[in-house]
Chain A
Amino acid sequence: MGAFWLDFGIAAAILFVAYNIFKIFFLKYFKNQAKVKSRVINLIVFLLIIYTFVIVYQTAQAKFDDRALAYMILQFINQIPNIASLALATTAIVLIYKTSTTTNFAQSMMATFGAYSAAKAVQYIGANYEWSTTTTVIVALFAGSFVAFLLGVFIDTVIIRYSKDKTPIGKQMITMGLVIILMGLMPMIFGFNSTNNPLVIPQLFPASEKIPLTFLNTWGIIEMQLSMTKHSLYILIFSVFLLVLLFSLLRFTKWGLGVRATASNERVASMMGVNTKLITALSWGIAGFLGGVAAIIKAPTDINPALMVSTQVNGFVAAVLGSFTSFSGPLIASILIPLLQGLMVSLVGNWNFTVVYAIILAFVLIKPEGLFGKKVDKKV
């Protein structure tokens, strides 16, 4: 571990010096200096990330000899449920930021509400029908996410719509109040997890069902036989499908155009005939839906109010790292963060979360607008 920090520090220092040399001697030859500067910083960050991966690879090589690559791929496969749920949660957070200009702290609680409903649905189906686990979970998934959708719409129409004229920090605090309300409400409605009232969502497929990844062997990438559970494969496909659907909706439909118009200026958008109320309500609903899916695909889990809190923190950090102003930046960050957290285990053990947060914090201090953000000039 000590050697890692030494190497990492030296590499970071060299890159810092190189960046400064570039800034002093070569930056003046470029036309769009701000853009070039931002891109160079991104390049440095990616070099550092690649360097981290290389170091992880080397440590793995020292430990597992020729199976190092297999180890890294295995880490990636293990992180798939985390990555999928984080990507969905982060997208939901960014969607709400775009339409309501607030960072939604209640996102995790909305998501957990969906998970509770899904667990109740599983309970109900288990008692009344003789369905297979897969069917049950799929039905429960849609039921729970739909409840979260309704909750999102409800929150917007009852509270958020009437707090338009509040300051951003005031709005933020309203969402924090929502966190407390939902935290109290959920055990009241759904009860606590016990043997009489099991609030558990099973995996989509039993953990023993695995799909061998033969293409890795036939392409000659690794020697070892690797496999992933059917559950992770299906949730990967489902969440990619959801994200592609959402992004194409944002890009090609009238609703997406409305969201982008509302994001740039709500008042002008409403003057131009965009139904901002409907768009905001729908955005909250969709955010709830995505959150619900994100919470449910973390299965198998016991449901408790703190289920999504760590995902929420990760999602916020990803959104800050990737910049709230873009949709794709947070997505990339939300893939990167669990991956780094998983890989760091071999380097720093239990400290993986701390190290990743600290690295991100340092990066955000250097570049507050995030990886892909544009610098927004402050109005005076």
Chain B
Amino acid sequence: MTYETKMKNTYKNKFKSMVKHPYFGFFIITIIMLLVQVLRIAGVDVANQTLRAFGKTMIYIIVGLGFSILLGFGGLASLGTAGFVGLGAYLLGYFTNNKGYSVFLIIIIAILVAIVVGTIVGFISLRIEGMYLAIITLAIAEIINEIFTNWTAFSNGIDGMIVNNRIVLFNQYIVLDPNVVFVAISLALLLMMIITFNIMKSPTGRALLAMRNSTSAAQAMGISIFKYRLLAFIVSTVYAMLAGVLYLTYIPSTFPVPGDWTLNLSLLILAAVIVGGSRSIYGIIMGTFLIFGFDLAVLSNRNNFGGYFIEHPEISIMLNGVLIILVIMFYRGGLIRLVNTVIGFIKRLFQKVKHKWKEYRYGPDSE
């Protein structure tokens, strides 16, 4: 063994290279999430509500990751997200209750349906651009909601669909324990973060970014708008539908009703992505925790603030709107930019202090 390889393989260097690996942060986040569940199992008094809030937030993070590829990279504003999440949930419910398909098969079906729907919306986005796209996607979400309401054979109408966390696995019905699903969601989130990271840093992500800044310039550089718009929509729809499937398996004793998947949810997801920072995975995680997680875990907890925010749920909704406007008007880039600024400041301060200390210890530079 040469000296160089020996030096490379020291534990310190190994650790350094591990920390610098881009996936490291994702693993840390997943471990933190799992820790919440493990603590609960180990007997630490984690409130049930907090745990559920973490799970829900992770599901919304998955939706947000898909949406960031659409909005942050593609520059395409869509308001159909909630409809797609609902479609995923309904697919799971329908195929489990009425057909008894295995959950893996349902996931594959959901992905296929998502590809079809994403392609359709993508085609529409080729013809109708810019501001009109948000309107048209809103109309599409409305159509999807009408389908939920009216196609009773599929969705059981406005009564909703009673699933009760049942899935079919290996030809038998299994009632899922939310604690087990939590682990599955954490792993799914890890997978999704890795995939999103790879899309963002790959030629696809770069092409989308070029498209976002100027469609004409991107076309002049040989980027096929057709291909990448469709791709962006397909990716975001697949994410949304998978999140819908997870949502239905996780939340205990819920059943999808048509009223759950309206403009409201789409706007909150939009808020999460924008407030966090639409082009950064960590930004989206922070944004979603701020918009959804904080509300679910802290504000709507009966013990906090004397239940004030349960009686006045509209305050937290309002704050979300204020955050969106403030971020767009004064601080493009969102929370992640703030965090990066603070980290940069601390680093510079640290270096300064180090320099000062060296000066004091060894005397000033001789130059």
Contacts and interface: CB of A to CB of B under 8 A. Distances in A.
Given A159-B329, A320-B135, A351 B146 contact: yes
A213 B139 CA distance: 37
B251 interface: no
A172 B315 contact: no
A325 to B, nearest CB: 12
Contacts of B216: 378, 380
Interface residues of A, number: 47
B298 interface: no
Contacts of B130: 168-169
B325 A174 contact: yes
B124 A185 contact: no
Interface in A118-151: none
B146 A368 contact: no
A357 B149 CA distance: 15
B179 to A, nearest CB: 33
Contact of B134 (A159, A172, A361): A172
Contact of A180 (B134, B139, B140, B318): B318
A184 interface: yes
Contacts of A159: 325, 329
B150 A354 contact: yes
A170 interface: yes
Given A168-B131, A173-B328, A357 B143 contact: yes
B357 interface: no
B188 interface: no
Interface string B96-134: 000000000000000000000000000110011011101
Contacts of B62: none
Nearest to B319: A184
Contact of B131 (A103, A351, A365): A103
A170 B328 CA distance: 7
Contact of A169 (B75, B128, B142, B319): B75
A316 interface: yes
7 contacts: A103-B131, A103-B132, A177-B321, A183-B264, A188-B315, A350-B149, A351-B150
A169 B139 contact: no
A179 interface: yes
Contacts of A306: 262
Contacts of B191: none
A176 interface: yes
Given A177-B324, A179-B321, A357 B139 contact: yes
Contacts of A169: 75, 77, 130-131, 134
Interface in B243-274: 262-264, 267-268, 270-271, 274
Give the interface centre of A173, A309, A313, A357 by most chain B CB atoms within 10 Å: A173
Interface residues of B, number: 45
A219 interface: no
Contacts of B123: 365
A184 B127 contact: no
Contacts of A350: 149-150
Given A169-B77, A180-B271, A320-B132, 5 more contacts: A184-B316, A188-B314, A320-B136, A351-B146, A354-B150
Contacts of A324: 132
Interface in A151-170: 159, 162-163, 166, 168-170
Contacts of A360: 139
B317 interface: yes
Contacts, number: 133
A169 B124 CA distance: 17
A310 to B, nearest CB: 8
Contacts of A102: 131
Nearest to A316: B135
A300 interface: no
B147 A184 contact: no
Nearest to A181: B321
A259 interface: no
Interface in B261-312: 262-264, 267-268, 270-271, 274, 312
B184 interface: no
A212 interface: no
B320 interface: yes
Ranked nearest first, the 4 interchain pairs of A and B with the lowest CB-CB distance are A184-B318, A180-B321, A177-B324, A181-B321
A8 interface: no
Contacts of B200: none
Contacts of A178: 321, 325
B138 interface: yes
B135 A103 contact: yes
A183 B317 contact: yes
A181 B318 contact: yes
A191 to B, nearest CB: 11
Given A188-B312, A353-B142, A354-B150, A181 B128 contact: no
Contacts of B343: none
Nearest to A183: B317
Contact of A316 (B138, B143, B147, B318): B138
A176 B270 contact: yes
B169 interface: no
A16 to B, nearest CB: 17
B354 to A, nearest CB: 41
Give the interface centre of A181, A186, A316, A324 by most chain B CB atoms within 10 Å: A181
A176 B71 CA distance: 14
Given A185-B318, A368-B127, A309 B136 contact: no
